[in-house]
Amino acid sequence: MSEERPRQPSRPSSSDAGSPRNNRPSPPAEPSRRRFLQSAAAAAALGATPHLHAQNAPGAEPTVDAPPAASVAAQPVHLHINGREYALQLEPRVTLLDALREYAGLIGTKKGCDRGQCGACTVLVEGRRINACLTLAIMHDGERITTVEGLASATSLSPVQRAFVERDAFQCGYCTPGQICSATACLAEFDAGTASAATADVRMRPAQLTDAEIRERMSGNICRCGAYTNIVAAVRDAHSAKA
C-alpha cells in the first residue's frame, strides 16, 4: 500500500526566477466584499461612539436628552365659532384648521392637502370662504367663524345641505363639508353681484348662475370621487330654492 504524501506547493523553477513576470511588485491585496462590509459597519459604529461614550463614561452621570423646548409660548385666542365663544391657548403657528379640529374639537372641517390645493378645509370667516389650512388662527382673534357644523339649525338642514342630500352629491363624503361651505358662500357671492372668471362682462352683475358659473366659482374644491355633476346640480337647486 503506497502512502500518499501531501502535495508541496510548486516552486518557481530557476528559469522563471529571473523572468520579468516574477519581478513585478505584487499588487496590494484586494479587500473582499465581506471585509468591505465589515469595515463600513465598523465606521458607522465609530461615528456613534463619541455620543455613547459621553453618556456612559465611567463615573459620569447618565444623561437624558432634554425634550426640544417649545419655540414660542401659547397665547390666548378668542374665536366665535358657530355662535359659541371659544377661549383657546394657541401657539402663533397653529393654523385655523388645526385650531378647529385639534383644539375646538370641531372635526367636521377636513384636512386634505394642508396646503391650499383641495378646498376640503373651507370654512366661512365673517361670511367669506377661506382655506383654513392657509391661515393662522391667531389672525382671526375675535372673528366669527362658521364651519359645516354651524350651517344647520336645530331642526333642519340648510338649503345647500338639503340639496346635496337630495342630489346625492357625494360618494365618500370627505370633500363634502368643504363643498357645502364653499357653495354656501358661492351663492352669497353671486347674490351680492360678484363677478367670476366665467362672467361674460365683469362690469355687469352676472345675469344667471349658469352651470359654467357654478363650475368656475366652485373650482377651488376638488372631489377625488368625481361627484362634480351632482355637486353642480345641488348648487343649482339650492340657488333655485332661494330665488
The binding site for ligand FES (CB under 6 A) comprises: 111-114, 116-121, 131, 133, 170-176, 223-225, 227
Q: Distances in Å between the alpha carbon of 94 and those of 97, 102, 150, 184, 203? A: 8, 10, 22, 26, 39
Cβ of residue 117: shortest distance to ligand FES, in angstroms? 5
Nearer to ligand FES, 102 or 195 (CB): 102
Angle between helices 228-242 and 176-191 (to 10 degrees): 40
Nearer to ligand FES, 138 or 227 (CB): 227
Nearer to ligand FES, 151 or 181 (CB): 181
Q: Which three cell numbers stand for residue 133?
A: 389650512
Nearer to ligand FES, 81 or 231 (CB): 231
Cβ of residue 167: shortest distance to ligand FES, in angstroms? 12
Nearer to ligand FES, 17 or 225 (CB): 225
Q: Distances in Å between the alpha carbon of 139 and those of 94, 108, 170, 206? A: 10, 21, 32, 33
Cβ of residue 218: shortest distance to ligand FES, in angstroms? 12
Alpha helical stretches, state H, the chain: 14-17, 20-23, 33-56, 96-98, 159-166, 176-191, 211-217, 228-242
Cross-strand pairs, 107: none
Tell me if 221 sits within 8 A of 178, measured CB to CB: yes
Cβ of residue 179: shortest distance to ligand FES, in angstroms? 7
Cβ of residue 140: shortest distance to ligand FES, in angstroms? 15
